[in-house]
Amino acid sequence: MDLQDILTPAGLTLALATINTLVLLVAGTPVAWWLARSGSRWRDAVGALVAMPLVLPPTVLGFYLLIALGPHGPGGWIAGLWGGRTLTFSFAGLVIGSFFYSLPFMVQPLRNGFAGIGREPLEAAASLGASPWQRFWRVALPLARPGYITGAVMTFAHTIGEFGVVLMIGGNIPGQTKVIAVALFDHVERLEWAQAHVIALGMVVFAFVVIAVTLRVARRVDVPLP
Amino acid sequence: MTLALGTLGVRAETVHVAVAANFAVVVEELAPLFTAATGHEVTYSFGATGQLYTQALQGAPYEVLLAADDERPSRAVADGIGIEGSIFTYAVGALALYSASLDPSDGAAVLAGGGFDTLAIADPATAPYGRAAIETLTALGLLDAVTPKVVTGQSITQTLQFVETGNAELGFVALSQVLGKEGVWLVPEALYQPIRQDAVLLVNGKDKPAAAAFMSFLRSAEAVQVIEAAGYTVP
């Protein structure tokens, strides 16, 4: 058994999950903040839009991404900025796909975190002369910490397990788009049970550890469980 | 209907056939002809030959396997899921290089020129047309040069879809998939091992009239005509 067959996809998957989590921490914050605090009549519509990947099969997202990231879609235009043709079959494409696929896993916990703060702490800070930025950084962010922890862990874990979207837009390139779940799928298709067992068991252990750690941290910092 | 079946002397049954992805369009066309000729119905499951084989080995309810190679059907017999003596070649496939944006009429030169970013092939480990693509690149001495540009479809149909959506500029597909289209280079037969596509009766289909009927219908003049019209040769 070639260990590289397992380590390369594993490393790639960890990189994808890390980048996706960081991107969503930043991008998810304003969306979650707005959803938690806005009185806009569009709030439910935007909330539903963000939550849709929970319900839609990955093939729907994969299909739209295949078109949108392709040479005739916006992705092709973006790729053209550095002389490329398409964002499919690339790590960047997977980051974009993962962003949409994992969006609710970040936004939902953050939204709950911000909503849980209530109005009082922020109003008190305002009455003490804190600027909106100070109120956000010094009051809201620390109080929403449980939401951030849950959001980051769920997003990271969810991206590790990503399969359907990647299968449709990845093109199965070792070191670039062949993530661990796709590598497992390939081994199963090829009747390479030994490699399949190693990856599958590894992912089972990983999932157990992630959930156990989340539960433990949740109890410590009093997070509403996902 | 009851009357018609009564005169044929058979009870209508449904045969479940696992079909290599390259042959999907052909069997869809054969389905109504099969029903008209025999009174039986047929349902299909499509995938790369290797995928279907793995599923069959794990107990999928397929009664007949139409593989895209001649290796898996013999292996099916050796592994105890295929019926000995039932194997025959139902079609010999041809490999084509296809592009929706470039002109591949001199395919070897296009491949050697390297004026493209992505070349799609089917997974050579599970799809015989992918294996034939690798053989072709090797025969042309281009495998190493082209490998960084290769993207892999799970089956020959996903490979075609990569090219049709423009995400890959070039792709090695089955001739049958792109028959009558622009931008097709028929790969010379000398460059790859012939793609002999064999059918095998699986143990699930043993003693099932519908499965037996499908196996013999596939060899009928009517079916052969459809298969040849779709870009295959029948030995």
Q: Which residue of A has its CA nearest to B158?
A: A168
CA B231 and chain centroid, separation: 11
State the average pLDDT over residues B145-167. 94
Q: Which residues of A touch B151 (CB under 8 A)?
A: 89, 171-173
ipTM of the complex: 0.81
Distance from CA of A174 to the nearest CA of B (A): 10
Contact B165 A70 (CB under 8 A): yes
Our CA-based measurement puts residue A168 at a distance from the nearest CA of chain B, in whole angstroms, of 8
User: Do A72 and A82 meet the contact criterion of CB atoms below 8 Å apart?
Assistant: no
Q: Is residue B187 within 8 Å of B135, Cβ to Cβ?
A: no
Task: Name the phi and psi angles at B185, rounded to 5.
Answer: -115, 120
* Residue B68: closest CA among B19, B17, B120: B19
Amino acid at B5: L
User: For A4-119+145-221, which CATH class?
Assistant: mainly alpha
Helices assigned H by DSSP within A56-143:
58-68, 74-80, 91-117, 120-127, 132-134, 141-143
For the stretch B83-140, pLDDT in tens is 999 999 999 999 999 999 899 889 999 999 999 999 999 999 989 999 999 999 999 9
Q: Taking CA atoms, what residue in B is nearest to A188? A: B54
Question: Is residue B111 helix, strand or coil?
Answer: helix
In angstroms, the CA A125 to CA B219 distance is 83
Cα(A173)–Cα(A167) distance, rounded to whole angstroms?
11
pLDDT in tens, B15-39: 999 999 889 989 999 999 999 999 9
Q: Which residue of B has its CA nearest to A164?
A: B154
pLDDT in tens, A103-141: 999 999 999 999 999 888 988 998 998 898 999 899 999
Chain A: closest CA distance from residue B57 (Å): 10
Angstrom distance (rounded) from CA A134 to CA A59: 43
Cross-strand partners of B173: B96
Taking a C-beta distance cutoff of 8 angstroms, is the pair B97, B89 a contact?
A: no
* Interface contact flag, B118 A89, Cβ < 8 Å: yes
Q: Is A71 on the interface with B (CB under 8 A)?
A: yes
Partners of B117 on chain A (C-beta within 8 Å) are 84-86
Look at residue A224 in the predicted model and tell me its pLDDT. 54
- Contacts with A202 (C-beta within 8 Å, 6 or more apart), sequence order: A6, A10
The percent of residues above 90 in pLDDT, for chain A, comes to 69
pLDDT at A223: 53
Nearest to A171 among B54, B101, B151 (CB): B151
Say yes or no to pLDDT of A157 above 90: yes
Both ends of chain A: CA-CA distance in Å?
38
Can you give the pTM of this predicted structure? 0.85
- Is the Cβ–Cβ distance between A107 and A226 less than 8 Å? no
Which residue type is seen at B42? V
Angle between helices B209-217 and B24-38 (to 10 degrees): 120
**Which among B50, B151, B162 has CB closest to A189?**
B50
- Which residue of chain B is at minimal alpha-carbon distance from A79? B167
Q: How far is the C-alpha of A101 from the C-alpha of A53, rounded, in Å? A: 6
Q: Do A171 and B51 touch (CB under 8 A)?
A: no
Task: Determine whether the interchain pair A86/B152 forms a contact, defined as Cβ–Cβ distance below 8 Å.
Answer: no
Q: Which chain A residue is nearest to residue B116, measuring alpha carbons?
A: A85
Amino acid at B16: H
Q: Say which of B57, B101, B167 has its CB closest to residue A66.
A: B167
In angstroms, rounded to a whole number, what is the distance separating the alpha carbons of residues B77 and B200?
8
In angstroms, rounded to a whole number, what is the distance separating the alpha carbons of residues B93 and A81? 41
Q: Do A167 and B154 touch (CB under 8 A)?
A: yes
Contacts of A85 in chain B (CB under 8 A): 117-118, 169
How many angstroms away from the CA of A18 is the closest CA of chain B? 25
Selected residue of B167, B169, B170, B172 to mutate for chain A interface (largest A Cβ count, 10 A)? B167
Q: CB distance from A67 to chain B under 8 Å?
A: yes
Residue of A nearest to B57 (CA): A191
Dihedral sign computed on CA atoms, order B93, B98, B103, B107:
negative
Instruction: Report the share of chain A in percent with pLDDT over 70.
Output: 97
List the beta bridge partners of residue A181.
Answer: none
The nearest CA of chain A is from the CA of B164 a distance in Å of: 10
